[in-house]
Structure 1
């Protein structure tokens, strides 16, 4: 009996051995009954049998063994994908799910070997096709499993960021009341309010990250802005927590734009705080705005140690940080402890129809955004262009 026919005829004994392995070897499975463990087992075996019956050339065989088959279904209802979603919800780890497929592979081949049949030259081809089909199913399962884990993490972060805003607002309100009631004895309220602003910056970055990751995109509300006045107000706000550092503003050309004020404020603040963190303490931070062209250039410059070259290609990616010996854990940089600040800058620039980039030498590090004067907002859920620049990490 050929291997595909053997699997079809003995799927019950194969599933029984699969369940026995999962029950004894996988901690997440110990509280599941046989039905829960079998899950999509029958359908996975049926899919493997169908896969083995499809004619294929050598290139397709190689692609399938690597989980890259162009002929594989992209449907979310493919048994291997459904199995992955179910296992993630049941508390399995990805290694435990992979072990299930390893057990399935070993079980089928062992039962086939012990069936008492006479081996034929076609058996090697059958074994290769079987392994290719299992590899394809495994690749599909792992891809979906990891995607489910990422989505669960993003949902958790989004809910946490949203729920933390309530108590943070209460803390700020209480500190403000203290300042009004006892204006002559204000020792801790200003410190509390500065800390609240720093925490709000972190939460803003976290919310932008999870919003974009969950596929909702960045919704924009462009308004008429006088950019030089807006930048001056932003820097005045930052100066209250920048420990006496010098912030310099240089403006040239037409300062009239239509952008989302809240998001551009967030992006500019992230870049300035980033420069404060990594620039030399005795050197000024320069914000330069050039409105002499159709695309306005907003740049933040600092003098400090250059960015490591290996970080430049991925510096705007999320959860990337540059670790330095003089790095302070108490940094006030927006997003610094999360590695999200520059990612948020890139996505805000992209949502406006612009780009974010960086240059870094021994003399200077400069981050800049190039934004069209009139915002060309990206529809929510549509991924904007990805910046390929870098900076001294947020």
Structure 2
């Protein structure tokens, strides 16, 4: 097969009929590309076809061929035509299925037109087809990845704005009901209603805070923490007593040394404890106490939260900290299954991110003999703090700072 009959040369020489065939297909997709004129509609496809032809004319190793067929080919730092095309299609209202269908049409247009121009089979013809398909596969992978990234960013931005916008009106409800709860000149039944509204608003506030924390982890900065030396035992006692008050029917046992100082963010660690103990109360056997145990050595502090009850299936353990995965994967579990049916399903994920922000780890074990146990391990002296560690009853010479 002469150079004139090679597929890469054919693409350069017949780019207009190829673009026309592809444009005819693109115009059949609903919704139509309302934000793009004919020139823009053709521009991305023209760039991609030139990229395909240039790629086919470039020698490659077997390893490069295999990587490209999986969408893992090498690339420059600049956005590719496929990525730019994906952004434009998202803004035009295309679904990812419609986006991929365009590549299918582009592939078919090129190969059908080339087949009509090629009279006889030649060994290099199959090679050209394979190289062309590899280039298209790479472009599809780049387009889908960019499309998915932009969708996730848009979703997270929406959630962040929603969470922030809900804070102010909810704060008004909390303040107003708190004022009514303290009133002495209204009937008791109204105070009772105000108390219930206050408790509901506080639960809503926790959900909104979780939502904002979730979006922070996905929009770049992560969950912020401000660490200082404090009493970990005091924080544990405060959270345990709060949950005992909220769940008077349940027994929560705390086993901790009389004094244990460390460097940590008090509010964030309290948030972790509240999530873990709340989980244990919700899913544990109501006849058996929830156990919270605090231990420490020279370097680390460990907090164990244990409940007895239905164990978590082994296949679920690797994803238990993933945000909202349990809700999507186990929507049809039987009653009593270990799933947060009344929450966003992100409490454990946020707890993990807070612990990681402290330079620690959070793990989980679950078996019939010992029950379900969450184990939080954080360093007593986080990275960035000099001087001696803060031991039980000891002092740290570090200055509080943002972590």
1:271 aligns with 2:276: yes
Tell which structure's C-alpha radius of gyration is larger.
2
1:288 aligns with 2:288: no
Q: Any gaps of 5 or more consecutive residues in structure 2?
A: 386-403
Matches within 5 A, 1:292-331: 292-321=297-326, 323=330, 324-327=333-336
| Superposition deviation, residue 98 in structure 1 | 0.4
| Superposition deviation, residue 254 in structure 1 | 4.8
Q: Any gaps of 5 or more consecutive residues in structure 1?
A: 379-394
Distance 1:28 1:197 in 2: 46
Distance 1:377 1:365 in 2: 34
1:294-350 per-position Cα deviation (integer Å, ceiling 9, x unaligned): 200111111111111101112112213275533499x9x7x9532211111111111
Distance 2:28 2:66 in 1: 34
Distance 1:328 1:197, change over 3 A: farther
Distance 1:167 1:338 in 2: 20
Tell me which residue corresponds to 2:17: 13
8 Å CA contact retained: 1:275, 1:301 = yes
Distance 1:228 1:28, change over 3 A: farther
| Superposition deviation, residue 26 in structure 1 | 3.8
Q: Which of 95, 102, 105 is 1:103 aligned to?
A: 105
8 Å CA contact retained: 1:352, 1:377 = no
8 Å CA contact retained: 1:76, 1:82 = no
Tell me which residue corresponds to 1:195: 200
Distance 2:91 2:34 in 1: 15
- Give the total of aligned pairs: 373
8 Å CA contact retained: 2:223, 2:354 = yes
| Superposition deviation, residue 111 in structure 1 | 1.4
8 Å CA contact retained: 1:253, 1:290 = no
Distance 2:71 2:350 in 1: 33
| Secondary structure at 1:252 match in 2 | coil
1:133 aligns with 2:135: yes
1:371 aligns with 2:378: yes
Q: What value does the CA root-mean-square deviation take over the aligned residues?
A: 2.3
Tell me which residue corresponds to 2:237: 232
1:333-386 per-position Cα deviation (integer Å, ceiling 9, x unaligned): 7x95322111111111111011000111113111011001123379xxxxxxxx
Tell me which residue corresponds to 1:382: none
1:164-199 per-position Cα deviation (integer Å, ceiling 9, x unaligned): 111211111111121123465211122112112222
Distance 1:36 1:243 in 2: 65
1:254-284 per-position Cα deviation (integer Å, ceiling 9, x unaligned): 5101111121111111101111111012221
TM-score by length of structure 1 reads 0.88
Distance 1:113 1:328, change over 3 A: closer
Following TM superposition, the consecutive aligned residue runs of length 4 or more in structure 1 with deviations greater than 4 angstroms are 116-119
Tell me which residue corresponds to 1:215: 220
1:229-276 per-position Cα deviation (integer Å, ceiling 9, x unaligned): 111111222233325211221102751011111211111111011111
1:354 aligns with 2:356: no
| Secondary structure at 1:29 match in 2 | coil
Distance 1:291 1:297 in 2: 6
| Secondary structure at 2:201 match in 1 | helix
8 Å CA contact retained: 2:292, 2:305 = yes
Distance 1:216 1:294 in 2: 27
8 Å CA contact retained: 2:233, 2:258 = no
